[in-house]
Amino acid sequence: MGPWNRRQEMGWAAVIMGVSVLLSRFMGLIRDKIISYLFGATRETDLYFAAFVVPDFINYLLAGAYFSITLIPLLAEHFHKDEEEGWRFLSTVLTWIFLTAAALTLVAMILAPQLAFFAAPGLDDAALRRLARFLRIVLPAQVCFLLGSCFMAVLYLRKQFLLPALVPLVYNSMIILGGVILRRRGMEGFCWGVLTGAFLGNFLLPLWAVNKEGGVKFRPRLTHSGLKGFLLLALPLMLGQSIVVLDEQFTRIFASLAGIGAISWLNYGRRIMMVPVGVVAQAAGVASYPFLADLVARKEFPKFHETLNRALLNVCVLLLPLSFWMITVSEPIIVLIFQQGKFGAADSVQTTRVLQILLLAVLFWGGQQIVARGYYARQDTLTPAVLGTVTSLVSVPVFYLAGLHYGAPGVAGASGVSVILYTLLLSGWWGRRFGWATFRGLQAALGKTFLVALVCCGPSYWIVRWQFIRDAAHPYLWALGTIGVTALVYGGTFLVLGRLLLGTLLDPFLEKAGPLGQRLLR
């Protein structure tokens, strides 16, 4: 049995997926670094980022982002009864997913000129024609994403996590390769890289892994008794469009009203903002979800709320100081990662501004990841979908007015406000339905953590602003040195003050921090 076929225990599975998220975010930054170096923040890059609006809508419409939530429990039920029955159910789902995704993709490709205006209403006619071409290249990738998600669900069911962990790495590698090889064709090369990466990484690799053990027993089918259960779980996620999944699309659509470069600045800033959200909150959500679902199945609800509370506390206590530090060093982060080639100092200033605004909502991005999984563990996909759709509808005029009157910073602010609103609605409804035990101690913990983090920001702020060590001839050395020094100063100050003032809130992190953490605990 090769390493790709080995079944992992839960602990190793969490490590593998955590490393995968980290590497995926890192490769995403490399990809955007290459884009910014070759093309900067220009109309061409705006078109590339806007080209994902319509394909992503199709993915969300078919609940592609939620396949692990909707499909895996049903697959487990059918495969547990009989393997042949499991394959009959999966064949039916695959058949309908392919037919629906292919039909929507074909219609979208035909209507690409009209959909281009929907994706970026602020563009002129020439730019819309080029955007339509980008759309027609990228759109078929969604069929690969959706079909591949079905095969990855089978791998997760078998507790084989290594191949799914490699999928985003192959996908990003192909985007980079296509963009570099075809760079003379502008951002079109990156579009071809998206299509190639989706086929090789998201579809072919999971298919090969499933076929490696026992073969793929697929037969086209249109009917199965389990299809109704799948639709009942997936339908709220298909019809309800949460602000969490639409935020990036709203940002791109309404940033087109803010002038050339705005879509790119917001995309680069959002990419940095999502690193702590992905590494901290997403990893915690993925790791805690099986435990939560198991506790619900055993009807151990007091322990369920205790586990959810602990996950929420840990995520928020870690994200709050991390976001504060990133706000203070936003400028050197942007300079170090993006300012080179066609991406100039003026672009760094604009991207820094939107990144600082986006980082103000990181705490709420992390909180909703945990609370939403509480709903899903209780097999309630309807409530998050309804609340998310309401928030999306309310947010549309906010995004429009912000983009029209306040440019890229206004769109960043609208993004933050919408996520904060959604998190508060999600949490408030949870407390009303299931009680407030999940949030016990959260307000006090966040209040104390906020004060400690605010105090720690002082030295870091002055280090960033200290012009004596700033050398315009070597901005990358300044940026790297500033990030390193502030990390040591901020981190050291926070650990000392946190140990004195935050009580046991830091204990879960110190226990895993090796000898230094053990010493601080003592």
Alpha carbon distance 432, 71 (integer Å): 29
Alpha carbon distance 143, 198 (integer Å): 9
Per the structure block, which two tokens stand in for 176? 């980079």
Taking only the tens place, the pLDDT of each residue in 22-52 is 677 788 888 888 888 888 888 899 999 889 8
Q: Does 16 or 440 have the greater pLDDT score? A: 440
pLDDT at residue 188 in the model: 93
Strand partners, 343: 340
Range with lowest mean pLDDT among 270-284, 396-410, 442-456: 270-284
pLDDT score of 8 more than 50: no
Per the structure block, which two tokens stand in for 516? 């230094």
Name the band, by pLDDT with cuts 50, 70 and 90, for residue 160.
Answer: low
CB 20 within 8 A of CB 169: yes
Name the band, by pLDDT with cuts 50, 70 and 90, for residue 10.
Answer: very low
Name the band, by pLDDT with cuts 50, 70 and 90, for residue 63.
Answer: low
Q: Does 318 or 471 have the greater pLDDT score? A: 318
Mean pLDDT of the chain: 82
Range with lowest mean pLDDT among 237-246, 311-320, 480-489: 237-246
- Domains of the chain, by residue range, sit at 1-239
pLDDT at residue 431 in the model: 93
pLDDT at residue 468 in the model: 53
pLDDT score of 481 more than 60: yes
Mean pLDDT of all residues in 417-433: 94
pLDDT at residue 359 in the model: 95
The percent helix, strand, coil of the chain (3-state, each to 5) is 85, 0, 15
pLDDT score of 239 more than 70: no
Name the band, by pLDDT with cuts 50, 70 and 90, for residue 515.
Answer: low
| Range from 2-11, 38-47, 134-143 that averages highest in pLDDT | 134-143
Q: What residues contact 438, with CB distance under 8 A and at least 6 apart?
A: 305, 308, 309, 312, 371, 374, 430, 431
Tell me, letter by letter, the H, E, C secondary structure of 140-188: CHHHHHHHHHHHHHHHHHCCCCHHHHHHHHHHHHHHHHHHHHCHHHCCH
Alpha carbon distance 168, 198 (integer Å): 9
C-alpha triplet 151, 369, 514: angle, nearest 5°: 95
Q: What is the pTM of this model?
A: 0.78
The single residue listed with the structure tokens 């592609």 is 64
pLDDT score of 1 more than 60: no
325 closest CA partner among 284, 361, 359, 353: 359
254 closest CA partner among 372, 413, 114: 413
Tell me, letter by letter, the H, E, C secondary structure of 297-344: HCCCHHHHHHHHHHHHHHHHHHHHHHHHHHHHCHHHHHHHHHCECCEC
Q: In b/e form, how buried is each residue of 226-254, taking b as 16+ CB within 10 angstroms?
A: bbebbeebbebbbebbbbbbbbbbbbbbb
Q: How many helices (H) and strands (E) does the chain have?
A: 24, 0
The single residue listed with the structure tokens 């058949």 is 95
